[in-house]
Structure 1
Amino acid sequence: MARFVLVQARHPFQEKEQENVAADCLHVRMGIQYRGLFQMILVLGIGGSFPYGFHISVINYPSLHIKKFINETWLERHGSPLPQENIVLLWSCIVSSYGIGGLLGSVCCGYLTTKYRKKKCQMFANLITLTAALLMGFSKMARSFEMILLGRLLCGVGIGFSFNIHPQYVGEISPKKLRGFTNATVAVFLTLGKVAGQVIGLGEILGSESLWPLLLAFSGLTVTIQLVTLPCFPDSPPYLLIQKGNEDAFQKAIRQLWGEGDHQAEIDDIKREKAAMSCTKSLRVLEVLRAQSLRGQLYVMITVMTTLQLCGINAIYFYSSEVFRTAQFEETLIPYVALGIGISECLSSILCSSLIERFGRKLLLWGGYAVMVLVLAALTVTLSLQHRFFWMHYLSVIFIFLFVIFYGIGPSGATISVMVEIFNQTYRPSAFVIVGFINWMGLFLLGMIFPFAVEYLGPFCFLIFMGILAVSSVIIYLYVPETKGKSILEITAEFNKLNYGKKQVFLNNFPKETVLCTKL
């Protein structure tokens, strides 16, 4: 006799709703479990890449007031005004001293973080930046423009330290499944710093003639918050186990940052890395440059870091004001439209942090480069024809926003993640000395050369950036392995295929001595 079973059919929308509820519950559980990790990400960001972005954007707002202050101070001291060319020279020194200090800080950082640990060096960097903020904040009261110059230099040194330490630290405290997200937060806080500088620098807030010293000193508040709160958090678990050999502190840091869940697979990966690194020496910077086992990693690092500096984002920010004026925006509205560009970059960087674990680093890099090439090509056309067709101005504005958005979604966050993940614990400090050198020298050289490129090439200067982006996109697509969800040893094995070709390579085939040094 046949038996009939009544099965209740579920509507597809009900299944989708249940899946969404399950996903929301998972996110809530992760937020609770990794609460310590997210808190530390916030603390590292607010005193790490945030001040770097802040001081990139904020210095243009008080420029007229500082030049006037320099002239007034000189007049009080010597009884005669300072020639205009000398004022411009002093202002150029004030602006460029930040980059010089950043270069000094990043070069010294590798050796000091290896010897004295990242947490202690980060707090030392906070003290330097706080001293710089106080010098700039009291410069007007002391009637000394030299304090601004010295403050900018020290600010660069402190932020050079912080911007070197922040990506390494945040990459080492996260589990594999969250590593892309945590690395991308470096770019998020950097863009938040840019936006904060644009907002606070408005004349209605701190960009006025009477309050500009407080504007320059604002970063002292953020580093003070980090200086007070960072001692409540541990050093990174890999550092505690691999370099300090402290099993108890390692387990305690895991529990504080990752909660009480099952992390045995992650712990085993770190222990395997320790075993592989037990007979590995920490190479100096010049030794890293010569090491065949790191040749592929170095090529990738130099490619992505150079492209980040020469992708055209700084040129876009430079050109945006001229485009807005040509599009007949009112002069009083231009700072707010420029603020819209900064907010677009910030929001797209936040989006990148949520997409990077889904699509991987490689796709975001080469795909982002490719789309940026197309947008730059379209922007070059509209800028060239803007005097023939009035509506080209508005297309140019749209393409500027699109370029910034695709930059934030792709290279901005993925670059940091790749650079952190392709080097192991012992080589990373020396590698980031090279990263810092490329970053700060790139800023300096771009600031020196770009105005001449604009003068002679006009909008066709973007063709240079298009060529760099196109070449980098091909290199990333062909040669860079995906690092998503892989341990350091797995990533190293991928690069060994590039470094040694068909030769048989063993991960433990390293020099037997151990030397912790990142001097040149």
Structure 2
Amino acid sequence: HRLVLVHCFIKSNQDIMETLLQQLTRGDALLLIIILGVSGSFQQGYQTTELSSPSPYIQRFINSTLYERHGEIPSPKTVTMIWSLIVSLYALGGLCGAISVKYITGTLGRKRAMICSSCVGLVAAAFVLSSKYAKSFEMIIVARIVYGFTAGLSTSTHSMYLGEISPRKLRGIVTLSYSTFQSLGKLSGQLFGLSEILGREELWNFLLCVPTFFSVIQIVVLPFLPESPRYLFIEKGEDEACKKALQRLWGKGDYKMEMEEMLAEQAAINAAKPKTPLQLLKDRSVRWQLITMVTIYVCNLMSGMTAVSVFSFDIFLQAGIPKDMIRYVTLGLGLTEILTFVSCGMLIERTGRRVMFWMGYGLMAVCWVFATVTLTLKDSNYWVPYITPCLIFLFIIFFCGGPSGSTPTLINEIFIQSDRLAAFVLTGIQRWLLVALIGLVFPFIVSGLDSYCFVMFGCFALMGSAFTFFFLPETKGKTLLEISKEFRSINVCGKSISEDIVMDTKL
């Protein structure tokens, strides 16, 4: 009986994958997903890990540059301060890019906003390449800010673009590609950073420019691919252009259901015009969507994944892993992320979003509890330190296969078109502020809490599990207007938001 069940499960997944491949390859959808990915979330993933390998070389470059300018050896504190600016100002650029999403994407459209972001990335690459020959670390700082701006703009636009090109039945698998390309970027940053490839002192400036190659590909290819159908229909009012875009993306068909859904959404937007971020914050009808968005992003970023990506070397060193083995362990982390996201694609449209959130968060919390125990007992036996990396691998599987894989899909589903741009601005601001906070605070947490530093991450994961279990409605297979009604009907202390709005209207 078990063999029959296993066979049925494998056969079912094979059928799902064949169906998805047929749907994705009938038009230009698959090509568009790849082109968006390599110059969207891939860039952010690469830039998250690209500084890990060349950090000693860049610091030596800063040291030698200051010595040539002033004729004396700079203090370690000065070099460290400049290095920290190079690392942290990336988040400042990301914040500026996130704030500009509404204006640039709303004015230029999704496609031209992505091309604009890639062109700005070329400017950053020129600064990085020239910095070594100009002997100017200031050019690296400027380049990191510009790179951050492109990441803040392109990642939000990338996620939005994916959500707007995908039919309802494929929304989960299409938007999941955002996370897949992000993890592919992280792995590429670790891989190219190996000394056998570009991780050498004479090549560090070329290592930082690898994503530029993909930006050039996007600039050349993307103009020939369709614009977002939802943007064309709802925001531009071009119904024929929308229909042609759908047919180019997904093959010939009438797409009556998709057009009717957009028409209903457009009618709702005519009743309530597009909002600014401040107006969205004041709108009580989307209160639960905003609370959900804020809670999930806080739990995702504060449950430990960002710290594992940026400070994996320090974590494994503290766990007792030999230095010469750590870089290969981190490569394994990146490969695990990609494989998990691919596997998640076969589950997200079957299990739904809600289960993957609360169960993923719960299992992540369990991993951090056991990781705290193994770090505390690492000196008790020679094999104990090796359990911690295994737990971190499990944590990545539960994170990528649950909350991380489902977040881009959910954020695209819980806001209608008139609210989505403002929501992405708020999401981007929150994300980049948290990234900057973690970058500044985590080293002090590691040194201050020692083996108990993961308790905080476990608490955030547990909070995410409880919130999504009790308050997050299932969004699988529903229209955006149906999902909005689900959020309005959430009851707390016997009251729902819709009842509050009715009461306010009567008053």
2:436 aligns with one of 434, 437, 444: 444
Name the CA shift for 1:314/1:504 in 2 (closer, same or farther; >3 Å): closer
Greater Cα shift, 407-416 or 194-203: 407-416
The secondary structure found in structure 1 opposite 2:46 is helix
The answer on 1:346 being equivalent to 2:341 is no
8 Å CA contact 1:62–1:207 kept in 2: the answer is yes
8 Å CA contact 1:237–1:254 kept in 2: the answer is yes
Deviation of the 1:327 alpha carbon: 6.4
Matched AA of 2:290: L
Query: Match of 2:72?
Result: 80
Query: Match of 2:211?
Result: 219
8 Å CA contact 2:53–2:194 kept in 1: the answer is yes
8 Å CA contact 1:320–1:338 kept in 2: the answer is yes
Distance 2:487 2:51 in 1: 41
1:5-20 alignment runs, 5 A limit: none
Greater Cα shift, 483-492 or 65-74: 65-74
Name the CA shift for 1:56/1:502 in 2 (closer, same or farther; >3 Å): closer
Distance 1:378 1:106 in 2: 36
Matched AA of 2:286: L
Deviation of the 1:367 alpha carbon: 0.6
The secondary structure found in structure 1 opposite 2:100 is helix
The answer on 1:228 being equivalent to 2:223 is no
Count the aligned residue pairs.
496
Distance 2:176 2:498 in 1: 35
Deviation of the 1:25 alpha carbon: 5.7
2:109 aligns with one of 106, 117, 122: 117
The secondary structure found in structure 2 opposite 1:485 is coil
Name the CA shift for 1:27/1:162 in 2 (closer, same or farther; >3 Å): closer
The answer on 1:258 being equivalent to 2:258 is no
Matched AA of 1:501: S
Name the CA shift for 1:379/1:260 in 2 (closer, same or farther; >3 Å): same
The answer on 1:269 being equivalent to 2:256 is no
Distance 2:342 2:16 in 1: 19
Name the CA shift for 1:502/1:146 in 2 (closer, same or farther; >3 Å): closer
The answer on 1:296 being equivalent to 2:291 is no
Distance 2:146 2:129 in 1: 13
Query: Match of 1:32?
Result: 25
Deviation of the 1:328 alpha carbon: 5.8
8 Å CA contact 1:420–1:428 kept in 2: the answer is yes
Matched AA of 2:326: I
The secondary structure found in structure 1 opposite 2:421 is helix
Query: Match of 2:384?
Result: 392
Greater Cα shift, 366-375 or 456-465: 456-465
The secondary structure found in structure 1 opposite 2:434 is helix
Name the CA shift for 1:206/1:426 in 2 (closer, same or farther; >3 Å): same
The secondary structure found in structure 2 opposite 1:478 is helix
1:459 aligns with one of 447, 451, 455: 451
Radius of gyration: which is bigger? 1
Deviation of the 1:332 alpha carbon: 2.5
8 Å CA contact 1:320–1:400 kept in 2: the answer is no
Give % identity: 37
Distance 1:192 1:442 in 2: 22
1:364-375 alignment runs, 5 A limit: 364-375=356-367
Aligned-pair RMSD on alpha carbons? 2.4
Query: Match of 2:47?
Result: 55
Deviation of the 1:29 alpha carbon: 3.0
Distance 1:506 1:237 in 2: 32
Segments of 4+ in structure 1 off by > 6 A?
15-22, 504-507
Deviation of the 1:44 alpha carbon: 0.7
For residues 138-161 of structure 1, the C-alpha deviation after alignment (integer angstroms, 9 at most, x for no partner) is 211222111111111111111111
Name the CA shift for 1:23/1:358 in 2 (closer, same or farther; >3 Å): closer
8 Å CA contact 1:496–1:505 kept in 2: the answer is no
Scaled by the length of structure 1, the TM-score of the pair is 0.90
The answer on 1:287 being equivalent to 2:279 is yes
Matched AA of 2:212: G
Query: Match of 1:6?
Result: none
Name the CA shift for 1:87/1:460 in 2 (closer, same or farther; >3 Å): same
Name the CA shift for 1:294/1:149 in 2 (closer, same or farther; >3 Å): same
Bigger proportion of residues as helix: 2
The answer on 1:64 being equivalent to 2:56 is yes
Scaled by the length of structure 2, the TM-score of the pair is 0.93
For residues 143-185 of structure 1, the C-alpha deviation after alignment (integer angstroms, 9 at most, x for no partner) is 2111111111111111111011111111100001110111111
Name the CA shift for 1:321/1:94 in 2 (closer, same or farther; >3 Å): closer
Deviation of the 1:228 alpha carbon: 1.2
The answer on 1:409 being equivalent to 2:404 is no
Distance 1:459 1:412 in 2: 25
Distance 2:138 2:251 in 1: 49
Distance 1:43 1:179 in 2: 18
Query: Match of 1:9?
Result: none
Name the CA shift for 1:144/1:28 in 2 (closer, same or farther; >3 Å): closer
Distance 1:64 1:24 in 2: 44
1:159 aligns with one of 151, 169, 184: 151
The answer on 1:501 being equivalent to 2:496 is yes
The secondary structure found in structure 2 opposite 1:60 is coil
Structure 2 stretches lacking a partner, 5+ long: none
Distance 1:481 1:333 in 2: 44
Distance 2:14 2:326 in 1: 44
The secondary structure found in structure 2 opposite 1:427 is helix
Distance 2:315 2:439 in 1: 20
Matched AA of 1:294: V
1:311 aligns with one of 298, 303, 309: 303
Name the CA shift for 1:230/1:445 in 2 (closer, same or farther; >3 Å): same
8 Å CA contact 1:323–1:396 kept in 2: the answer is no
Deviation of the 1:32 alpha carbon: 3.2
For residues 108-142 of structure 1, the C-alpha deviation after alignment (integer angstroms, 9 at most, x for no partner) is 11122222322222211111111001110121122
Distance 1:18 1:126 in 2: 41
The secondary structure found in structure 2 opposite 1:138 is helix
The secondary structure found in structure 1 opposite 2:361 is helix
The answer on 1:333 being equivalent to 2:315 is no
Matched AA of 2:183: T
The secondary structure found in structure 2 opposite 1:432 is helix
Distance 2:143 2:244 in 1: 39
Name the CA shift for 1:210/1:43 in 2 (closer, same or farther; >3 Å): same
Structure 1 stretches lacking a partner, 5+ long: 1-11, 511-520
